[in-house]
Every structure is written in C-alpha cells, then in structure tokens.
Amino acid sequence: MGLIGAESPSDEKSPERLSLDELRQVQLERLRRSIRHACENVLHYQRRFAEHGVSPQDLHTLEDLARFPFLTKQDFRANYPFGLFAVPRDKIVRIHTSSGTSGKPTVVGYSAEDLQIWARLVGRCIRAAGARTGDIVHIAYDYGLFTGGLGSHAGAEHLGCTVIPVSSGRSAWQIELMEDFRPDILMATPSYALNLADAFEARGLDPHESSLRIGIFGAEPWSEATRAALQLRLGLEAFDLYGLAEVMGPGVACETAGGAPGLTLWEDHVYPEVIDPSTGRVLPDGEEGELVLTSLTKEALPVIRYRTHDLTRLLPAQHGPMRRIARVSGRTDDMLVIHGVNVFPSQIDALLARSGGFSPHYKLEISRSGPLDDLTVHAETLSRQYQSDAQLRAAAEDLMQQIKTFIGVSVTVVVHRAGTIERAPGKATRLIEPRAAAR
Ligand code: DLL
C-alpha cells in the first residue's frame, strides 16, 4: 500500500505521486510566495527581515531560507493577540490557541482556505493510519480553543468518516458510547487514552472484543512502552500524530500503517529544518536537534522559520518524496538540570516502563534547598496487590537506584498507591513547579 490513497478530485496532486524534483519545485515556488506574503502584510516580518538585512528577493534556493530570522513563541506573545495575522481580521474565520497553562496563550487564526488545507492534511494522516471512508471515528481530544478536537474532526469528515465528537472527560460514559456506537478509530492524547483503557477494564471488557482497530494519538510525547500498553489494553494499532497550533494544529506529520518508524511530514505544505538549538545552525538530515517549521501555504498566519522547541531528526522519505521526522522525544524547554545533570521527562518515562510494576502516570517535583534544583519523582504502582508501606518504600528505593545508574542523577522517589496520581483529561502535566507554567 502506498502512503496515502487518492485524495478527493478537487485536491492537488497526491503527495506520493510527486517526484522529488516536482516536490522541490513546488516547495520553492510556495516558499517564495509565503515569504513575500508575510513580508508584505505583517509588520513584524518587515522589521525583522530588515534588521537581518534580508528580503524576499534573496530567496533563490530552498537553502537560502537559512538566511532568514527565526520566529519564536516570544514573537507571538509580543504581537498578542492578532499582530501576526497577514489578512484583514474579517477574513479570519476561526481562532485557536496553543495549550499554554498560564499567561497569554499563543493565538492563531485561519482563513477559510487555511481550514480546508488543514482538514485535507489531517485527512491524509487518518488515511495513512489505515482509515477509510465510512469508518467511525471517536474523537476524545478536547474540543475548544485547543486544536486537537476540531482539527481531528475536520480531517475525519474530509476523509468521509462518521465522526463522534465526544471531546475528553467522563471516561466511563465514553466507554458506554463505544459499546453502543462501535467506533473503528480512537483519537485522543495518549495519556487520556490510558484513562479510557482504565475505564474499559473497570467495566470488565475484553480488549479482543473492542470495536477499535486504530488509535491516532498525539499532542504530547509518548513512549514505545505506552504504545504497547495502549495496543494491548484497547485492542488496536496505535499511530503517532504530530502538530502544533502555530503551524496549524494536528496533521503536520504522522505515522503510516505498515511503514518504517518515523512520521511522514507533509512537506508540500510545511518545510522542515532541524537546527542546533544553541547556535541556530541548520544540521544535516539525520542529526538530532530542534525542529524549525515554515508554512508554505498558510494565508492568515504565515510562519517563517518557527522554532518549535521539539527535539527530533529528519529521516529519509519512504513512500513518495516526503521526508519523515523521528518521534519527538521531548522539548528543549522540558529539560531539567538536576545537580548539573540534564534530565528529560521522557527518560523517566522510559525507566518507569522498563522497570515494570509502575503505571505510566507520574509527576516530577522541583524544589530548591541549596544552590541547585532537587528532583522528586512521584511514581505510582501498577498493581493493587503490592501496596503495604514497606513494599512502596522498597519500590521507591529500587527506582531511585535505577535513576542513579541509568540517568546518573540522585533524586528522591515517592511511590504512591495504584490509581492515586491525578489523571489529566487532555495533555498530561508532569511538572509540579512554576517552570511548568512557562509553556
Ligand atoms: O498539541 C496539536 C495536536 C493536537 C497534535 C492533537 C497532535 C494531536 P499545541 O497545543 O500547540 O498543539 O502543542 C504543540 O505539543 O510543539 C509538541 O511539543 C507537543 N506535541 C504535539 N504532538 C506531539 C507528538 C497540539 N506526537 C506541542 N509527540 C508541540 C510529541 C507532541 N510531542
């Protein structure tokens, strides 16, 4: 099977049918147009390009993009709420925001055409996971300002699926709906899908009898261990979906049924670069760094070289000419420095999964008693059988040793009884400290 099948007749040429030369040509034309559009209609770009001594005429090849300045989250904040829009306000038909936990969120706007392209790209992702016209899609991403719910909704409708727009929360009721409506596909954050798996089990249901065939999970980093748990507990095949509000929402990149590891990035609409986060230098394909994305067709809010903070690397194309990205392992701003050692939440995630006996729900608490930050890991046992105080202390001691051995840092571990760590209805929040609010 190819990457994606035929799209609707009104769509552009299917990406798998483009040759590499055709793709590069399309990208260059669209990039020129997008940079010109940004510069002509957004004061921020005019100023920043002038400060950097570049203008749209300097773009002769795709590599010339590296001469242009980055766009950052701070630029969105400085231009809050609508200052980066490149069309008059009355052409904006929808507003969304990024999922900031405090302060001003990033505001994004869409023209009618932007919404159509977004739906098409999410539709490609759902199709790439093996979905077909007529499948029933249960959407448990939050609906509202978060892009997950409405973005997935439009993509599934574009593909001709039957959409159940449930949003997140009320897990027991969601399982009841699933029993009645028998959906083929579940779309949710992986952490909320784990809650649904708990509710599924609490109802005494057998995963083999689940109607679900496919799970499309994203909006936060998740490990291979979580994938295995979701597949086993919900009886489905799980696929990764990546995206961010500033560049559109879900649908920037996705995994493909039967494909090699990695997420195909829709390069005909979004141009990727990977940079060294400390120097800003563009890295060759294959090297890990920060993903920088440039929109090629966005009308209302063109983004030129947006620094995502997401850590990944570019992988060769598999079907058709579009490159893939490796699963996003974490964010540059997720990194904790504990006693001089760099620690990413994803490392704790992987250790918890590998050790067995721990649930995927955990919290990280930062405190400061002396000059350095201390870390307390709050983990949770998986089983309801091993819950005496002595057993919990022994499990904590063991995990502390493993973190020391494999990550090389001394931390405090508190192990809690099964089911007692708070579950989030949308994205999991791991950090308990003021820095968690900075996103
Ligand atoms: O999370 C859009 C989305 C909705 C993606 C539903 C996939 C599914 P934001 O709220 O702007 O948008 O958050 C974007 O979430 O920069 C990453 O750090 C993280 N993220 C998104 N998808 C993944 C993923 C949506 N598959 C931020 N793996 C991004 C790891 C992800 N991190």
Query: Best substitution site from 240, 328, 333 to test ligand 1's pocket, by max atoms within 8 Å of Cβ?
Result: 328
Q: Are residues 142 and 288 in the same domain?
A: yes
Beta carbon of 245 within 6 Å of any ligand 1 atom:
yes
Burial of 134 (0-12, 13-18, 19+ CB in 10 A): exposed
Give the whole-angstrom CA distance, residue 354 versus residue 194.
17
Q: Are residues 320 and 386 in the same domain?
A: no
Beta carbon of 290 within 6 Å of any ligand 1 atom:
no
Q: Are residues 229 and 111 in the same domain?
A: yes
Choose the final residue of a domain: 298, 333, 368. 333
Q: Are residues 228 and 329 in the same domain?
A: yes
Both structure tokens of 426: 């949308």
Which domain CATH number covers 345?
3.30.300.30
Which domain CATH number covers 237?
3.40.50.12780
pTM for this one? Answer: 0.91
Ligand 1 closest atom vs CA 246: 11
Contacts of the segment 45-50: beta carbons below 8 A, 24+ positions apart: 45/304
Q: Are residues 196 and 328 in the same domain?
A: yes
Q: Are residues 328 and 372 in the same domain?
A: no
Beta carbon of 219 within 6 Å of any ligand 1 atom:
yes
Reported as a single tens digit per residue, the pLDDT across 314-352 is 999 998 999 999 999 889 888 888 988 889 888 898 889
- Contact between residue 18 and residue 26 where contact means Cβ atoms under 8 Å apart: yes
Which amino acid would we find at residue 36?
R
Give the whole-angstrom CA distance, residue 269 versus residue 293.
10
Q: Are residues 174 and 83 in the same domain?
A: yes
Choose the final residue of a domain: 333, 348, 371. 333
Choose the final residue of a domain: 333, 358, 384. 333
Q: Are residues 140 and 234 in the same domain?
A: yes
- Decide which of 6 and 114 is more confident: 114
Q: How many domains does the chain have?
A: 2
Q: Are residues 287 and 363 in the same domain?
A: no
Q: Hunting for tokens 């773009």 — which residue is that? A: 59
At residue 438, the pLDDT reads 40
> 176 C-alpha to center of ligand 1: Å?
28
Residue of the CA atom closest to atom 18 of ligand 1: 310
Reported as a single tens digit per residue, the pLDDT across 398-410 is 999 999 999 999 9
Which amino acid would we find at residue 316?
P
Residue of the CA atom closest to atom 22 of ligand 1: 219
Ligand 1 closest atom vs CA 98: 11
Beta carbon of 99 within 6 Å of any ligand 1 atom:
yes
- Decide which of 193 and 355 is more confident: 193
Give the whole-angstrom CA distance, residue 265 versus residue 291.
12
Quickly count: other Cβ atoms within 10 Å of residue 208's Cβ: 6
The average confidence (pLDDT) of the chain is 92
Q: State which residues form the domain around 422.
A: 336-438
Burial of 366 (0-12, 13-18, 19+ CB in 10 A): middle
- Contact between residue 359 and residue 378 where contact means Cβ atoms under 8 Å apart: no
> 362 C-alpha to center of ligand 1: Å?
19
Q: Is the dihedral of CA 339, 343, 348, 350 positive or negative?
A: negative
Average pLDDT over residues 109-113: 98
> 183 C-alpha to center of ligand 1: Å?
24
Beta carbon of 262 within 6 Å of any ligand 1 atom:
no
Q: Are residues 92 and 4 in the same domain?
A: yes
Give the whole-angstrom CA distance, residue 32 versus residue 19.
20
291 three-state secondary structure: strand
The residue among 145, 107, 103 whose CA lies nearest residue 438 is: 103
Helices in 238-377 by DSSP H: which ranges? Answer: 345-355
138 three-state secondary structure: strand
Q: Are residues 242 and 126 in the same domain?
A: yes
What's the helix, strand, coil split of the chain in %, to 5?
Answer: 35, 25, 40
> 156 C-alpha to center of ligand 1: Å?
18
> 248 C-alpha to center of ligand 1: Å?
11
Q: Are residues 324 and 407 in the same domain?
A: no
At residue 2, the pLDDT reads 33
> 391 C-alpha to center of ligand 1: Å?
37
> 170 C-alpha to center of ligand 1: Å?
23
Reported as a single tens digit per residue, the pLDDT across 223-257 is 898 999 999 999 999 999 999 999 999 999 999 99
Confidence of residue 5 (pLDDT cuts 50, 70, 90): very low
Confidence of residue 189 (pLDDT cuts 50, 70, 90): very high
> 143 C-alpha to center of ligand 1: Å?
15
